[in-house]
Structure 1
């Protein structure tokens, strides 16, 4: 039902400080600049940094993961470890490194089958939820599939246009936390069908047009469903 991740929006206190981190440390390019917002290109997904001046706000303390080519991992580690105390995790044959951005978001750079060079997409986002059962049912009805449940019974991993982790409040790898009031944009061929699948459980329908639908999920996260032509 959902065919791609269009954007992830994060809340920042200083656009200039955040811009320095994402532009100079992680080599992302700014594509759009507004008074209270910066948009970076992360492969085919936009990373939006937003001052908290209106709704939807960006996510707070959000753990998410950038895709990098396998062959670049050691170079990224060598470069970032000069200025940051990195953490590392191994997932089968692939590795990920973790560091915090200036606003406390836990940023993961993980080996993925991408071309690069550099960061080439977002492959995971973690949301904090009150009830795993409720949130899992909600996102399953949007087409996500459960692929893993944590042994601690505090998280569920779903697969869809990207990996979506649903966490009840706890600290994960590198003391990461699930994001609150996260703003996510999804591509879909039929925004109205996406709304129909979960309309009885959304907290609110914020906007509905022929080409896009904006809702708040049961935990207050903003979800936008946009048609391919938008």
Structure 2
């Protein structure tokens, strides 16, 4: 049996690497990283999302790599109301939320939006973090 420790990186196939990097940087606060060969990614915490242009795929690749086929969930410690305001002030349409969902470690409150390629992006906050913040105030 293989014992997996963590995810090192994910790859998103995008129509335009510049546009995708700008969105993830400006809207979600990630930082753009450049790898040898001018390949780019966005990074946050200890995670990286490599951005591969659909017109210049890097082999090996997924069987059907197409922009807009991903569904990703990112966790924030910020109050969801602040995330919602940031999205609105940057003219990012909220598809759904705030709504209650279940994350890896329990109940979360989520907002759903789409990146420039149509990937579904969920920004979530664990409910116990919200309760701990409220209790401390």
Same fold (TM over 0.5): yes
Match of 1:68 among 60, 68, 76: 76
C-alpha contact (below 8 Å) 1:15/1:37 kept by paired residues = no
Report the count of equivalent residues. Answer: 113
After superposing on structure 2, the runs of 4+ consecutive aligned residues of structure 1 that deviate more than 6 Å are: none
Q: TM-score, normalised by structure 2?
A: 0.71
From the superposition, tell whether residues 36 and 56 of structure 1 become closer, same or farther in structure 2 (CA, over 3 Å).
farther
Match of 1:31 among 30, 33, 51: 33
Distance 2:51 2:125 in 1: 24
Counterpart of 1:91 in structure 2 is 101
Q: TM-score, normalised by structure 1?
A: 0.44
From the superposition, tell whether residues 41 and 32 of structure 1 become closer, same or farther in structure 2 (CA, over 3 Å).
same
SS state at 1:46 partner: strand
Distance 1:85 1:20 in 2: 17
Pairing 1:77–2:79 present? no
C-alpha displacement at 1:27, in angstroms? 1.2
Distance 1:47 1:31 in 2: 10
Match of 1:3 among 5, 8, 16: 5
SS state at 1:18 partner: helix
Distance 1:74 1:95 in 2: 10
Counterpart of 2:132 in structure 1 is none
Match of 2:53 among 51, 54, 58: 51
Q: Which runs of 5+ in 2 are unaligned?
A: 130-137
Pairing 1:110–2:127 present? no
Counterpart of 2:135 in structure 1 is none
SS state at 1:95 partner: strand
Distance 1:28 1:54 in 2: 23
The RMSD of aligned alpha carbons is: 2.3
Structure 1 stretch displaced more, 1-10 or 42-51: 42-51
